[in-house]
Amino acid sequence: MNKRFHIQTMGCQMNEYDSDFLAQSLIKNGFLPEKDVHRADIILINTCAVRAKPEQKACSFLGRMADLKEKNPELIVGMIGCLAQMKGKELMRRFPLLDFVMGPRELGHILESVEGIIRERQRLVQTALDKVPPSPVKCTGYFQNRTSGFISIMEGCNNFCSYCIVPYVRGREFFRAPEDILEEARYLISEGIREITLLGQNVNSYVWKETQNKWNFSSLLHELAALDDLLRLRFTTSHPKDLSDDLLACFANIEKLAGHIHLPFQAGSNRILKSMRRGYTREQYLAIIEKIKTCDEDIAITSDVMVGFPGETEEDFQFTLDLIEHVEFDALFSFKYSDREGTPAAEMSEKISENVKIARLQRLQDIQNGITLKKNQRLVGRQMTVLVEGASKKGEQLTGRTSSNKVVNFDGDVTLAGRLVEVTVKASYLNSLKGEIIG
């Protein structure tokens, strides 16, 4: 009887992309996807290690699987992803219910590992980092009813920001060949995908020198945008140090390129930016923002920011708030700093207390929410082009995104999924807009 698998995906879009790879690999070999974890024969937890909170979340989920394993000793439980890479062996000791741990660079072995465990019931630790990420698999029909899809164009990071675990769990920068990326895009489009988001820890550092013609991120964007039936192209995440004029010109020259850029700044104080080893100053970051706004004032800018980095004074924090009020981001992903074992910042002194971190995060989010509401309010009455994704979460309406990555909910027929429609913005909220289809 075909075994049923359930994948619990935590963390970033790269993990969602990896989970799609795992699911397609298993389905192509006769395993059946199972939404209900209680009915699964194989449970895979795809994890994140970027902060303490997602680590706790993964471990508590794992703990809740102990009952299922007790009732069904044949159940296979595997931990995948960044936390598996970071703490593989330790987790195997701590959680006897675990059958295997597998790092992001070992995903290509998922099938032989699962089949090996079914046959021999051996426990496995697979966390080599020197492997190239696996090539995508094609599982016809897998992306049915989806409008948007991801393509990883690179993996890993060479920047070693002092607080970040990514270079230690995702490895050195690895760039995929442009032809492989184009091939994957053609496959997704043939499956009905109309919007593609290019993924990488530093997508704008993409470069390919193996062929006569050298490729960089801009040339890749132009080639992808030329594909028929692709309606929209997005990318994330960018690093300020690699944002070229070439790339900015793409926003003006490539119609399919969405008018949104995610550009993490992390802190507003030069002293803290230096301690974070971010590789730019506040002034340099603001100059880039100026360039983007000059290029097109409608480009939405979002970012990541951290509070409570070791040594952060009230004055440093004030620089962060000033920067946020100056730039007026469309949205911010804001977090409390937490030690990541093995990173230089974890060894730093002058750690900030949890209460101070919580208070600073609240002050920051209050300011940013006010800015986001004000910016969304300014869109009321505007006509915007929306790519319809399908039924909204509540199911009563349709939902989709503007080029500037704003979620819009509106009445309409679900057959519009995958198409661009014009809507008038009727009302605005913190995380979404209410629209009305024109015509």
Interacting residue ranges for ligand SF4, rule: CB under 6 A? 157, 159-161, 164, 166-167, 201-202, 239
For residue 358, the minimal CB distance to ligand SF4 (Å) is 22
Query: CB within 8 A of 305, min separation 6: which ones?
Result: 264, 265, 266, 267, 320, 324, 332, 333, 334, 335, 364
| Spatial distance between the Cα atoms of 431 and 370, rounded to a whole number of angstroms | 12
Minimum separation from the CB atom of position 209 to ligand SF4 (A): 21
Q: What residue type is assigned to position 96 of the chain? A: P
| Residue whose entry in the numeric block shows the structure tokens 């971010």 | 278
Comparing C-alpha atoms, which of 417, 410, 418, 400 is closest to residue 439? 410
- Of 161 and 323, which has the nearer Cβ to ligand SF4? 161
Task: Work out how close the CB of 130 gets to ligand SF4 at its nearest, in angstroms, rounded to a whole number.
Answer: 18
Provide the minimum distance between the beta carbon of 270 and ligand SF4 in the complex, in angstroms, as a whole number: 17
Find the shortest distance in angstroms from Cβ 240 to ligand SF4: 10
DSSP 8-state secondary structure symbol assigned to residue 397: S
Quick one: which of 173, 252, 267, 174 has its CA closest to 218?
Answer: 252
Closest to ligand SF4 by CB, 115 or 341: 341
Task: Please say which residue, 76 or 157, places its beta carbon nearer to ligand SF4.
Answer: 157
Q: Least distance to ligand SF4 from the beta carbon of 159, Å?
A: 4
- What type of residue is 268? G
Q: How far is the CB of 276 from ligand SF4 (least distance, A)?
A: 8
Rounded CA separation 55/63 (Å): 12
- Which is it for strands 124-126 and 100-102: parallel, antiparallel or unpaired? parallel
User: CB of residue 14 vs ligand SF4: minimum separation in angstroms?
Assistant: 10
Q: Which is nearer to ligand SF4, 147 or 266 (CB)?
A: 266
Nearer of residues 340 and 406 to ligand SF4, judged by Cβ: 340
Query: Which C-beta is closer to ligand SF4: that of 343 or that of 376?
Result: 343
Find the shortest distance in angstroms from Cβ 154 to ligand SF4: 11
| Neighbour tally for 220: CB within 10 Å | 23
Q: Which two tokens stand for residue 354?
A: 């949890």
SS3 at position 324: helix
Q: Which is nearer to ligand SF4, 262 or 406 (CB)?
A: 262
Torsional class of 242: left (φ above 0), alpha (ψ -120 to 50), beta (otherwise)? alpha
Taking the least distance from each CB to ligand SF4, the nearer of 85 and 403 is 85
CB of 237 to ligand SF4, least distance (A): 7
DSSP letters, 89-156, are: HHHHHH-TT--EEE-GGGGGGHHHHHHHHHHH---EEE--SSSPPPPP---TTTTTT--EEEEE-EE-
Which run of H or E residues covers position 248? helix 245-253
Least distance (Å) between residue 163 CB and ligand SF4: 7
Cβ neighbours of residue 114 under 8 Å, at least 6 residues apart? 26, 31, 42, 76, 78
The first and second tokens of residue 275, run together, are 């301690």
Residue 92 tokens read as: 């195997």
User: For 179, left (φ over 0), alpha (ψ -120 to 50), or beta?
Assistant: alpha
Residue 5, beta-bridge partner list? 33, 42
Show the tokens assigned to 280. Answer: 């730019």
Closer residue to ligand SF4 (CB): 238 or 404: 238
CB nearer to ligand SF4: give 160 or 429.
160
The whole-angstrom separation of Cα 174 and Cα 130 is 10
C-beta of 159 vs 424, nearer to ligand SF4: 159
